[in-house]
Structure 1
Amino acid sequence: MTNTSTRLLFPVHFWEGGPNWNYLSFRMLVAYAITHNRSIVMIPFHNHFVKGFTKGYRPFEETFDINRLRKIVPVVTPEFYKEVCGASIDFLVQFPISKMRKAMRKENRKRYERTRGDFKKLWDIHLPDTKRKRRNFTETERQMMKADEIRCLGIYGPRQIPNFLTEKEKAVFKHIDRYFRLSENIRSMGATVKSLLCGGKPYIAIHWRNRTGEMVEYHSIDCKTEEQCLHNLAMLSNASQVIAEAVGQFMKNLGIDCVYVAIPPRRQEFVERLRNIVRHVYTAHFITSRDNAELRRLEDDNYVLSLVEQEVCQGAEVFLRCGVSNWSEFVQIGRESLGKEVAYLRDIPNIPEEIYEFI
C-alpha cells in the first residue's frame, strides 16, 4: 500500500451548514482517514451567520488543537496536498441529489459552486464541474466502493451521504474524541471564564436556541408560512415562563443555584424570566464584560466567543442541550468523551410537549 503521507483526503465542505456542521463533518472524515490509512487535509472554517456576519474563514489551528489531533491521524496543509497531487482533486463523491426537491437541488448546486470558487481563490485548486450530473444513491455507493483506488481523494458533504461510515469506522469515534479538542487558546479562555463563573461553584449549562425565531428572521425553508412561524413564536414566548420554572425546579433538586445559558445574540424572553427564578444566571455578556482584554475582544468576534461558550458548557455539572442543533451535538460529543452528563432540555419535568420541537 502507498505510504500514508501520499494517500490524501481533502475535506470538501464549506457552505453546507454553519461552523459546527463543518466541525462534525470533519470529525467524520477523520474517522474515514484513520480506517483507510490516509492523511487528512486541514481546512479553515467560515464565520457564523449571526451578529454582523463577516465573510471569510478562520484558520483550522484557531479552532482545534492540531498537535493533539496529529497523535492519531496525519494532518497536512492544502499546500502540502498541492505538492503531492497538483492543483486538482480526484473527486470521489457528492451526496445524491437526484431525488431532492427542485428547490433543494438548486440550493445545493449553488453551495457547491460557491465551494468551487473558494477552492480556486484560496489555493488555486480546481474542483470538478458537476452541473450536468444527476447523482443517485446507487452511483454514490459505487463510488464509495472505489475510494481506496483514489490517491488524492476529495469527499463532499459526508454527513449528507447515506451510510457514509461503516460500523467499523464509527467504532473509532470514541478514540477520536479524546484527541479532537478545541485549541489551547480556546481552552485557556474557557478556563478563565469557568474560574470566574459562579464564584467557582458548580453550575449547569443550557443551550437555548429559539428555532422558531430563527425561522422568521432567516426565512428558513423549514417554515411553511410566515404566519405559522409567528404563531409558533408566540406559543414559545407564552411557554417561556413555564420552561423557566421547570429549569428552576430542576436546579433546586440538584442543589445548584447557578446557570450559564448559551444563546444566539438576540433578545430572549426565556433568559429574562429565568433571572426572576434562579439566583445566578449568566450569558455571553458576562464573558465580554470582564476586566480582561482578551475576553472583551470577543464581543466583536462571535466565532471565538461561541467556541469559548462551548468550552464553558463542557465544564458544567449538567448540560441541557437543544433538541436539534449541531452546536449542542458538538458539546455533547466532547462531554461524553469525558464521561460527563448530557440531557435534553425538553426531557426535564414539566416541559409542555407541544413545544418539544422548538427547544
Structure 2
Amino acid sequence: MHYKSLIGQWRAFYYSLCAIMVLVLITICYSNTMNNLPNTFVGRTFQHRQYVNHNGEFDQLPLTIWEFSTGKHKEISGMDQTRDNKKANNATSAASEAVHANESRESGKFARILEEEQGLSKIPEIPRTSKYPRYLFPLFQYIDGPSGLYIHIRYAIFAAIYQKRTLVIPYLHRHVTQTTGPKERTPNETFDMAKLRDIVSVSSSLDDFKRDCGTHFTLENITEGPYPEDTSVEFKLDEYAKIKRQCEHILGITMPYESDIRPLLKDVPERFKAMLTVQCLGYVTPRYQRFHNKEIEEKIGKSFYRAPYIRRMADEVMGKICEGSFAVMHWRNKSAEPCRAGFKGEACTESLKKSLALLSKQVDVIISLVWDTLHKHNISCLYVCTAPYEQKMVNHLKRSEHVHTLEDSFKISKKLSKYRDDNYVISLVEQEIAERTPLFISSGGSQWSRFVGYARERNHLKTIPLREIPGIPKHLLPIPYLIK
C-alpha cells in the first residue's frame, strides 16, 4: 500500500510539472509575439509628447489608438483634459493653407506643367506590404525659426500624403528672439492635429520612430526633395551637411556622408517615386519645394490649420479692431536684431550699424508710402506685427491713432494677455490675423511672412511685399534682411 501511495504522489507531481511547463511556454510565446508588434497594432495606447502650458490649455494629452477596421489613428481625450480643450479638438475655422503668395497665372501654368513632367499628377496606389507603419521622417535645418519649421513640415505633409505614409513631427521650438517660455514646443499647441489627421497619419513621438526604424538613415532609405533648377550641387551639399549635423545633435538621428549623397542629387523626382516601398523614409526638404499636385495642395489647404485655441483668440481680437476692417503690416528688421542689447546671436558689425543709420533717416518716408498704399485700397486702419523688442519704425507708426499693435490685442483679449511672456503663441495668433485681412504688407526675406502668404494666396487676398510699394527709396533695397 505504501508503494502504491508513492507512485500516486509521483504521478500527481509529474502531471503538475507538465502543466506548469505548458503554461510557461504559452507565456513566452505570447510575450515574444506582442513585443514584435508596434504599440499601435496591439491595442495599447501611447501618448504623444506635450508640454503643459501655464494656462491649462493642455492639462493632458490626447491619446492615440490604432483602429484595425479603418487602418487609421483615432484620437481620444485624456481623463483630465480640460473642457475647453475638448471643444478645441472639434473646432473648425475658415483659415486655410495653400501655395506661395502672389503666384501669377504664368507661375500657375508652370506648376501644372511641372506636375505633369514630374509624373505626380496622379497619386499612386500603394499595396500594403507590411503590418508596421510606413514612416516619412522630415530632415531639414531644425535651427530655423518656427515659421521656417512650419514651411518644411508643410512640404513633408505633401510627400507623406503622396506616398501614404505616417508623418513624424519630432521637434518644434521657440524663436531665437524669445527668452521666456518653454524652448521646445509641440504640434498639439501649434496645429489643429485633429484636422491634419483627416488627410495624413501623424506621429509626434520620436521614441516610437526610433523603436520601429532605428537611428540611422542609409543611402537605401533617404531621398532629397527637389531644389530650384538653378541650384548648384555645392549649395545642395552644403545645406545637406548642415542638416546632417543638426539632426545628429538635436534628434540623435545619423545620416550618410555628403560624399555619398552626391549621386542621389540627380533625377530627384524619379528617386522620390522609386522609394514607395521603403518602410522608413528620410525626406530631406529643401527651403523651396518644387513638387506640385493640385489634389494634394487642396487637401493641405483645407486641413493644415493652426490649433483651435489660437484661432479663437484671433477671432476675438479681429472683431474689435477697427470694426474688423484693417490691413496688417509685418515689420521684421533683422539687421537690427544683432545690435540690440542682450542679443546672443551674430555680432553687431559696422556694416549693420551703417544700415540702421541709413534706415533711421528714411523711417518717416517709408511710413508715408505705406499710408499711401492703404488709402489706395480704401483702408484707413493698420495692425503692425513685429518682433518683441524696441524699434524706431514701430514707435513712429504708433503715433497715429489708427495704428494698432500687440498691446491693443492684450487689452481686447484677456485670454491672449495670459500669454504675454510666450511669444511663440503670440506669433501664431498674429499670423492667423495676418492671413485673414484684405491687405497684407509682407516683410522681404521673412519666413513668417512667407508662411502667411500660403493661405492668403489660396483665399485670393492681396499681399504686397514692402519692397514693392511704389516710391520705396532704391538705396534701401540692398540692406540685408530689411525689405529685400
Q: TM-score surpassing 0.5?
A: yes
Q: Deviations over 1:204-229 (max 9, x none)?
A: 000011122135456977x9x82221
C-alpha spacing 1:89/1:66, structure 2 compared with 1 (3 Å): farther
**Of 150, 161, 174, which residue of structure 1 is paired with 2:278?**
150
Q: Is 1:337 aligned to residue 458 of structure 2? A: yes
Deviation at 1:73, TM superposition (A): 1.6
Counterpart for residue 238 of structure 1:
361
- 1:99 match: secondary structure: helix
C-alpha spacing 1:268/1:171, structure 2 compared with 1 (3 Å): farther
C-alpha spacing 1:237/1:108, structure 2 compared with 1 (3 Å): farther
Counterpart for residue 263 of structure 1:
386
Q: Deviations over 1:316-357 (max 9, x none)?
A: 120010111110011111222222221112222221122235
Unaligned runs of 5+ in 1: 121-126
Q: Is 1:304 aligned to residue 425 of structure 2? A: yes
Counterpart for residue 49 of structure 2:
none
Q: Deviations over 1:81-108 (max 9, x none)?
A: 356435655651478998359xx95x97
Q: Which amino acid aligns with 1:265?
A: P
**1:257/1:279 contact within 8 Å kept:** no
Deviation at 1:297, TM superposition (A): 1.9
- Distance (whole Å) between structure 1 residues aligned to residue 133 and residue 330 of structure 2: 42
- Distance (whole Å) between structure 2 residues aligned to residue 178 and residue 214 of structure 1: 35
Judge which range, 177-186 or 267-276, deviates more. 267-276
- Distance (whole Å) between structure 2 residues aligned to residue 143 and residue 257 of structure 1: 48
**Of 191, 195, 209, which residue of structure 2 is paired with 1:68?**
195
Count of aligned pairs between the two proteins: 340
Counterpart for residue 251 of structure 2:
119
Q: Is 1:285 aligned to residue 407 of structure 2? A: yes
- Distance (whole Å) between structure 2 residues aligned to residue 349 and residue 259 of structure 1: 18
Deviation at 1:136, TM superposition (A): 5.4
Counterpart for residue 92 of structure 1:
222
**Structure exhibiting the larger radius of gyration computed from Cα positions:** 2
**1:98/1:134 contact within 8 Å kept:** no
Q: Is 1:185 aligned to residue 309 of structure 2? A: yes
**2:160/2:166 contact within 8 Å kept:** yes
**Of 182, 186, 189, which residue of structure 2 is paired with 1:59?**
186
C-alpha spacing 1:304/1:251, structure 2 compared with 1 (3 Å): same
- 1:211 match: secondary structure: coil
Taking the TM superposition and a 5 Å limit, the aligned residue runs for 1:213-252 are 213-214=336-337, 216=339, 226-252=349-375
Deviation at 1:154, TM superposition (A): 1.9
- Distance (whole Å) between structure 2 residues aligned to residue 23 and residue 201 of structure 1: 27
**Of 173, 180, 195, which residue of structure 2 is paired with 1:46?**
173
- Distance (whole Å) between structure 2 residues aligned to residue 15 and residue 291 of structure 1: 32
Q: Is 1:128 aligned to residue 254 of structure 2? A: yes
- Distance (whole Å) between structure 2 residues aligned to residue 24 and residue 229 of structure 1: 28
- Distance (whole Å) between structure 1 residues aligned to residue 215 and residue 261 of structure 2: 27
**2:135/2:280 contact within 8 Å kept:** yes
Q: Which amino acid aligns with 1:99?
A: E
Deviation at 1:9, TM superposition (A): 0.5
RMSD across aligned positions (CA): 3.2
**Larger % of helix: which?**
1
- Distance (whole Å) between structure 1 residues aligned to residue 374 and residue 393 of structure 2: 16
Same amino acid, percent of matched pairs: 27
Unaligned runs of 5+ in 2: 1-125, 226-230
Q: Deviations over 1:185-241 (max 9, x none)?
A: 11011111112222x2410000011122135456977x9x82221111111111111
**1:98/1:136 contact within 8 Å kept:** no
- Distance (whole Å) between structure 2 residues aligned to residue 252 and residue 98 of structure 1: 46
Q: Is 1:317 aligned to residue 442 of structure 2? A: no
Q: Deviations over 1:91-148 (max 9, x none)?
A: 51478998359xx95x97576444334334xxxxxx2255x54355433337871533
Counterpart for residue 396 of structure 2:
273
Counterpart for residue 332 of structure 2:
209
Deviation at 1:64, TM superposition (A): 0.6
Deviation at 1:275, TM superposition (A): 3.2
Deviation at 1:21, TM superposition (A): 0.7
Deviation at 1:24, TM superposition (A): 0.3
Deviation at 1:248, TM superposition (A): 1.6
Q: Is 1:3 aligned to residue 128 of structure 2? A: yes
Q: Deviations over 1:232-263 (max 9, x none)?
A: 11111111110101112222233322111111
Deviation at 1:70, TM superposition (A): 1.6
**2:383/2:404 contact within 8 Å kept:** yes
Judge which range, 236-245 or 249-258, deviates more. 249-258
Judge which range, 185-194 or 53-62, deviates more. 53-62
